[in-house]
Chains A and B, each alone.
Chain A
Amino acid sequence: MIHRVMFGLAVLCSVFAAHAQPVYRFSPVNQWDINKTVAYWNPIINYVSEKSGLQLELKIGRTSADTTAYVLAQEVEFVFSNHLFSPERRRLGWKVFGRRQPSEIRGAIAVPVDSPITTLEELRDQEVAFAGPEAFIGYKVPYAHLLSKGIDVKVVFGGNQNAAFAQMFAGRAKAVGSNSFLIDAYTVKEHKNFRVLWTSEPYHDLALMASSKVPDKDLKAIADAFTSMHQDPRGREILHRASMEVGIAADSYFIPATEADFANYRRFYDSAPALLR
């Protein structure tokens, strides 16, 4: 009888445990557009879920700011973002556990290759398109440089980086602020050539970050799944295909990272105008 009771309890526990298995929400910054972002991240998330044994759910916003909104609304547990390095948001308790390799990018200001504008000065009072106010490399770094140079421009947000490029080539903006990586990718993908007027110091690209609410064990499992993905042939194949979908380096993969890797973000915020903090 006792055995039967014990067995029943074990079954109930296992069922409960199964039901208690958390579903983590992962929101990457929408770097391209929704369709491409989904095309890039879905296979990777599925792989990581499978490898880690933890269920990850993709949550994508229309703009890059949406990821931050999800973080603020506590609607996600994992992000791929660089919007959380400001001093205020650092207090939210999110931890860096990885980044994409290669991830060195620079903030840049570019015009179309056939544009008459050849210097930043010529952008004064001109429309300059950016992805969104939350974009660190694509907005805050180049705009901070313009402000530091005393070049006042009319900021135009496209919502995401592709929209910003489209606005420039449509003539609604004279220049675009972006990270150098996305400019190169857009050139390859859309056969549009740029004249880069300025580039910043190098920054690591977005960071894989986890909410402080995520248990260490789960975090480790997920972090391991991300960072060892390129060592697994199937994971490498998934990475390769996903990279090809969005036009980034085919051999890009995820590696472990820490807060130290993103120290220059802190330095930026330390010296950035209050408008951009």
Chain B
Amino acid sequence: MSLMNRLLPKSLVARVYALTLLTLLLFVSLGLGVFYRYQFRGNIQDAQDSATMMVEVVAQVIGESAAIGDYDTIKRTLDNAVLRSPFESGAFIDLQGGTIRTLKSQPPDRVPPQWLRQEVAEQLYDVNRNIVVGGVDFGVLRLTFDVDEIAGELWELFRAALALAAASVAGGLLLIWLPLKRWLGTLERVQSFERDQAQGVDSSAELIDEVPAEFRHMFEVLADTSNTLRKELATREKAMTSLRSLLESILPANPSANGNVPDDIEAVSVLIRDLVTEREASRRALDNQKFALDQHAIVSITDRTGRITYANDRFCEISGYSREELLGTNHRLVNSGYHPPQFFADLWRTILSGRVWHGEIKNRAKDGSAFWVNATIVPLAGADSTLSQFIAIRTDITERKRVEEELQDAKLAAEAANRAKSDFLANMSHEIRTPMNGIIGMTELVLDTPLEANQREHLEIVRSSAESLLVILNDILDFSKIEAGKLVVEHISFNLRLAISETLKCLAIRAGKKGLQLDCELSDDLPAYVSGDPGRLRQILTNLCDNAIKFTDTGSITVRATTEASDERHCIIHVSVADTGIGIGRTQQKKVFEAFDQADTSTTRNFGGTGLGLAICSRLVGLMGGRIWLESEIGRGSTFHFTVDMQRVAGEDTAGEALPPLSTWPDVPALVAEGDPAQRRSLAQWLRAWSFTVDEAADGNEALEKCRVAPPGECPYRVILIDSALPVLDGFGFADAVRREGRSGAVQMVMLSARGEKGDARRCRELGLAAYLSKPTTPLELRDTLTRVLAPREPGGAAGTEPELVTRHTLKEHQRHLSILLVEDHPINQKLARELFEMWGHSVTLAANGQEAVDLFPTMHWDIVFMDMQMPVMGGIDATRLIRASEPPQRRTPIIAMTASAMSEDRKRCLEAGMDDHIAKPIDRHAVHRLLEHYGARGGVALPAASASPPAVSVSPTAIEAALDGLDPELVGVVGKVIAVHLPMDLAGVREASRRRSWPELRHAAHNIKSTFGLLGMSDLANVAQWIESNPEGTDKSTLDQLQAAVDVIVNALSRKPRPAVVQDGIGAHRPLNGSTST
């Protein structure tokens, strides 16, 4: 077909003409062919027929001539026969072979083509005729056809026919061409027809008249179709314009279309299809959502006035009203009256402002029953953007409300029960710990007195049993709290290194007693101060170390602490406790952190314990954001690891502030001779923090070589810290070598021993060592030791006498003697604490309850206050508040709560009341000692040193007014009037005492007004009163006048303050707040 298309002319006229030509040629050719065959056969047949006739005629003559032997006649006969005949030659052949032959003399007129001659020759054979006369054969007559003549005639005829056919074809084609061009050319003029149509000229009728009848109908149809199409096109163009306008109005809201309306109808169709599809999808989705919403929610729609315009089935169902009853009715129909008018006023205000309202409403059904719904009311805007209706979507929460009420009741009951349980737990804790406190404390006191051996042994058993019982008790209580979710970890700032070191110090003694070495390796990357729960950290560490000591017979225990990961705010502290003990089997390792479990049941029998320790550790670590795990091998020991998440404390430097920063020794050369790299690093770090220039040596020989750098008789170091168990050359050997080389004159050598042995102190004295400390030592202890050994010799010191060897004991002896106010009602605790404090050289004043403490507090300076929480008359919380209220702003005496309460709320209350720390009862002597070291070293916040003249007094009314305005209005309202009455009276007492020079009275009166000024936050005036209290004899009139002016301003200002809506009796209830009446 494609070949045909290529071959065919493009023009229709040419195609028709070509078809006509082909047809003519085909038929003319066929005609010629038929003509040729017919003529060919006819000519051949004619030749043969004439030959048949002629041969008979000639044979007759020749036969007669042959019978008589007249060959001449035969010759002539043959000549005549051949002449003007279709034969070329004639011959007579007699029986003897003689031949008479004659040939046509004339050459052929026409020369036929060879193919035609060949074809004719194939059809014409020689004509033989036996010449028989009277039954006797005389010979043969043979005539040979003139093939050229016959073929020539045929050829001439054929050429004439061919010429005629060609002429006919040419003429026919010419005749066909002209009308064909005329008629079919009209079709080409359709172009002008189209052009005219485009120009609005209707030339169709004229054109149609010209076209042949066969095409006329088609052209008419075409013209009609064209007109129809033109009209439709105009209509579509109009529709397209409308569509474009419509789309332009729609598309801006359709971001995907970017507001551009395409020009072509296909793109517009696609766009419209997309829009319709999208709208349809949206409508379907909306229908689905509405259906789903109706299945789930109670839906109603109201107009602006609250009249219901739509209510779904669920609304009808829950309200009990039919739809007809609801529609057109105000929504107030289901108002239960439960909610106050303000509730609905707020609701209407919200939705009328165009905002969505959420809430729970109690409605009333038709039958009077109430039902609760959780409602969302959405204001809907109309076409003019004004609010026209509100749709309320509600879910039935009646059942939930019912359950909530039941739950609320149950919760209240449970809370009451829980409070009772908590109180019971607290009381039980208190009641159990107090006698335990007494047993342990008294036993320790007795043990500190001279005893016989068997008595000491028995008492040791008593103390050990009591401590074991206390551990068990603590474990059970802790576990109970953890299981009840009551245990809350603290977040207080503490010195991490110090906390670990202090904890291990006590444990080291215990390990030492068992012949074990307790090593501590604190990584350099540990932060100095962190925020966390030091008590719980200490508890975990103690528990793990206790276990290590318990299950290790020989070898050592190593505690390592590093920072595993950290960022600016947090750090993960990784602590490990490795021992060389019995180890734990692989199967048991999975269970050790489970409650009431030990490595095996026989363990408890062999080593004791509740089996709760590791479970508690595990829970505590979890509470502190960490994890705990262990690595262990039977017979090789165990390593317990735990991590805790601590918060970094901003502003605390990691190096210097990690250590007590009271003293520095700039550029004093020091040598740390320590075999253990971690301990050597820790010691060096501490020394560098105190500004020493530090050198390090890993063994005795290295240390000695470093000393030998200096000329003989000298030592390059001012201080040498020596590990008693130095490798190669032990500590004592090294000290001996230094001494023998005469280098010990100016150097202070401090021996650090992991395992104190009898005679160590004597050897130290003999070798001229300055101090002897047992490991692990704490930075505080080392600092105090260095302070003492590096201090200049006292002028009054006996010349030539060796300085005293500084030990842990001498450090304690030289500790500051503190003035302690012990507030405790329980006789046992009173006695225990008093004797403990006094044993350590501190002076103790006892207050039996809070009131006594409040009364005693202003009478003198206290270094620290130990405050019981639960006391008759006045508890520790109230007493602390009153003490803090009466304290001058510049001074803050440490108040330590002593509480048997295991509840964190109590501790929180303590801190909120103004206490600084707490200690659990029964009193642990080590804990108490740590607190005394910590707070006693600070010595509280000291008052300004007494000066010769009192501080200047500012009586600016503006400043006083500002100070009063800054106070709590309620406080001013409650106590303002009392102060306005009593403050002038107290000042008058001061004046009177001063005039009479009665110094105790003056101190007392000054103390009163100091408390009042402190209560009012006027620190300058409080300082003046304090100065008078401290220097009663130096008080002059001008100072008292300045105070008088200030008091006048205060009284006037207070008088102008509005009276609070509190009855006068309420003031009495707050009597302790009034400083004037507290003493």
Contacts and interface: CB of A to CB of B under 8 A. Distances in A.
Interface of A: 34, 61-63, 65-66, 68-70, 72-74, 86, 88-89, 92, 134, 274, 277
Nearest to A275: B135
Q: For this complex, into which size category does the number of interface residues on chain B fall?
A: 10 to 19
B135 A69 contact: no
Interface string B81-117: 0000000000001010100000000000000000000
A65 B97 contact: no
Contact of B128 (A69, A92, A274, A277): A69
Given A62-B125, A74-B97, A69 B140 contact: yes
Contacts of B139: 72-73
B137 A72 contact: yes
Contact of B135 (A34, A73, A86, A134): A86
Contact of A65 (B93, B128, B135): B128
B130 interface: yes
Sorted nearest first, the 9 A-B pairs with minimum C-beta distance are: A69-B128, A73-B93, A62-B125, A277-B135, A69-B140, A73-B140, A72-B140, A66-B128, A74-B97
A277 B130 CA distance: 13
Contacts of A63: 128
B536 interface: no
B345 interface: no
A68 B135 contact: no
B648 interface: no
Given A66-B128, A69-B129, A88 B97 contact: no
Contacts of A61: 125-126, 128
A65 B126 CA distance: 12
A154 B892 CA distance: 175
A274 B139 CA distance: 19
Interface of B: 93, 95, 97, 125-130, 134-137, 139-140, 142
A274 B130 contact: no
A18 B691 CA distance: 146
Nearest to B135: A277
A89 B93 contact: no
17 contacts: A34-B125, A61-B125, A61-B128, A62-B127, A65-B128, A65-B129, A69-B130, A70-B128, A70-B140, A72-B93, A72-B95, A73-B93, A73-B97, A73-B142, A88-B137, A89-B137, A277-B135
Contacts of A62: 125, 127
B49 to A, nearest CB: 11
Contacts of B128: 61, 63, 65-66, 69-70, 73
B135 A274 contact: yes
Nearest to A87: B135
Nearest to B96: A74
A61 B130 CA distance: 13
Contact of B130 (A34, A92, A134): A134
Given A73-B140, A89-B137, A68 B97 contact: no
A69 B142 contact: yes
A89 B142 CA distance: 19
Contacts of A277: 135
A192 B95 CA distance: 41
Contacts of B127: 62
Contacts of A73: 93, 97, 128, 139-140, 142
A74 B139 CA distance: 10
Contacts of B136: 88
A73 B98 CA distance: 9
A68 B132 CA distance: 11
B179 to A, nearest CB: 48
A70 B95 CA distance: 10
A274 B134 CA distance: 8
A63 B93 CA distance: 18
B130 A65 contact: yes
A73 B140 CA distance: 6
Contacts of B135: 86, 88, 274, 277
A134 B136 CA distance: 13
Given A72-B95, A74-B95, A89-B137, 18 more contacts: A63-B128, A65-B129, A65-B130, A66-B125, A69-B128, A69-B129, A69-B130, A69-B142, A70-B128, A70-B140, A72-B137, A73-B93, A73-B140, A73-B142, A74-B93, A88-B135, A88-B137, A274-B135
A68 B125 contact: no
A190 to B, nearest CB: 21
A277 B134 CA distance: 9
A195 to B, nearest CB: 30
Contacts of B142: 69, 73
A104 B127 CA distance: 31
Contacts of A88: 135-137
A277 B139 CA distance: 16
Nearest to B95: A72
Contacts of B97: 73-74
A157 to B, nearest CB: 9
A60 to B, nearest CB: 9
A66 B134 CA distance: 19
A48 B383 CA distance: 120
A74 B54 CA distance: 24
A62 B126 CA distance: 8
A277 B127 CA distance: 22
A70 B137 CA distance: 12
Nearest to A269: B135
Contacts of A92: 95
Contacts of B125: 34, 61-62, 66
B1012 to A, nearest CB: 158
Nearest to B139: A72
Contacts of A69: 128-130, 140, 142
Nearest to A89: B137
B134 to A, nearest CB: 8
Contacts of A70: 128, 140
Contacts of B95: 72, 74, 92
Contacts of A65: 128-130
Contacts of A274: 134-135
Nearest to A83: B130
A65 B130 CA distance: 8
Nearest to B141: A69
B1027 to A, nearest CB: 162
A74 B142 CA distance: 13
A277 to B, nearest CB: 4
A92 B134 CA distance: 17
A263 B586 CA distance: 138
A74 to B, nearest CB: 5
A74 B128 CA distance: 13
A143 to B, nearest CB: 15
Nearest to B131: A72
B144 to A, nearest CB: 12
A89 B95 CA distance: 11
B137 to A, nearest CB: 5
Nearest to A68: B130
Contacts of B137: 72, 88-89
Among B97, B128, B136, B139, chain A packs the most CB atoms within 10 A around the CB of B128
Contacts of B134: 274
A92 B137 CA distance: 10
Among A63, A66, A92, chain B packs the most CB atoms within 10 A around the CB of A66
Contacts of A34: 125
Nearest to A63: B128
Contacts of A89: 137
Contacts of A66: 125, 128
A134 to B, nearest CB: 7
A62 B135 CA distance: 23
Nearest to B91: A73
Contacts of B129: 65, 69
Among B97, B130, B136, chain A packs the most CB atoms within 10 A around the CB of B130
A74 B135 CA distance: 19
A105 B125 CA distance: 29
A99 to B, nearest CB: 23
B986 to A, nearest CB: 165
A236 to B, nearest CB: 32
